[in-house]
Amino acid sequence: MSYTIFGDKGSGAFSAEAVLAEAGAPYEFHHISLEKNEQRKPEFLAINPSGKIPALRLPEGEVITESSAILLTIADHFPNARLLPPQASALRAQAYRWLAFMAAEIYPMVEVSDYPERFAPEGAQADALRQKAKERIRERLLIVERFVAGPWFLSSGFSILDIYASMFTRWRGSIGKEWLAERHLPKLEAISKEVSQRSTIAPVWARHFAR
């Protein structure tokens, strides 16, 4: 039996697929086109009533939503993959801290930056809101950058945090291509490069982010 990921290329579904690939888990990728607004169709709303991707169906049939919950669930299902530091360790607590931080402080702002008209009237108000969201994302990414241990996010080595943080650096439209080109995030960019070259993740990275 395999896992099923529901998502679109270049979306938050990347993190779920990359973690499954790293764990060596069998999975299928069910494409949900954001461009065609398929996340709002009844078929997908029956899977995730919030109409957001990614979603993960476990082999047992249970559905998990919210990207951070998906990553933690996969890490729990594959303890031998060592996707997190040891249980109850100080570094495990830091992993939870920064996964929650990125999920709560950065991820929601990406939707505002990409789709400001969902939150404000189109025109000047939506444009101003988009700019504020970009600024918020940048501020929060700079906080994350400061706490990267190097060469991986945690001093204990590679973890799901590296996959999750790398994903945000690829959303250039949400953050601002010009700002990213100024290299404000050298540690996170270095992690992204390493993640993209891991033998298990490289094909997934290419499918989601290669242009």
- 3-state DSSP of 172-193: HHHHCHHHHHCCCCHHHHHHHH
Q: What pLDDT is recorded for position 144?
A: 98
β-pairing, 55-57 vs 63-65, is antiparallel
What pairs with residue 63 in β-bridges? Answer: 57
Give the pLDDT score at 211: 64
Summarised one tens digit per residue, pLDDT across range 167-201 is 999 999 999 999 999 999 999 999 999 999 999 99
**198 secondary structure, DSSP code:** S
pLDDT digit string, tens, across residues 71-106: 999 999 999 999 999 999 999 999 999 999 999 999
Number of H helices, E strands in the chain: 11, 4
The share of the chain scoring above pLDDT 70, in percent, equals 100
Report the pLDDT value the prediction gives residue 89, as an integer from 0 to 100.
98
The CATH topology of domain 3-81 is Glutaredoxin (3.40.30)
Quickly list DSSP for 49-116: TT--S-EEE-TTS-EEESHHHHHHHHHHH-GGG--SPPTT-HHHHHHHHHHHHIIIIIHHHHHHHH-G
Does domain 90-197 fall under CATH 2.40.240.10? My reply is no
pLDDT, tens digit, 9 for 90 and up, residues 143-169: 999 999 999 999 999 999 999 999 999
> How high is the pLDDT of residue 126?
98
Instruction: Work out the number of other CB atoms within 10 angstroms of the CB of residue 80.
Output: 7
Q: Where are the domains positioned within the chain?
A: 3-81, 90-197
pLDDT over 70 (residue 114): yes
Q: Is the pLDDT of residue 67 over 90?
A: yes
Tokens of 81: 């993959």
Structure confidence at residue 1 as a pLDDT band (50, 70, 90): confident
Q: What is the pLDDT of residue 181?
A: 95
> Six-digit token pair at 38?
């398929």
Of 139, 136, 153, whose CA–CA distance to 189 is shortest?
A: 153
Can you say whether the dihedral through the CA atoms of 26, 160, 204, 58 is positive or negative? positive
Dihedral sign of CA atoms 14, 16, 17, 21 in order: positive
Q: Is the pLDDT of residue 210 over 90?
A: no
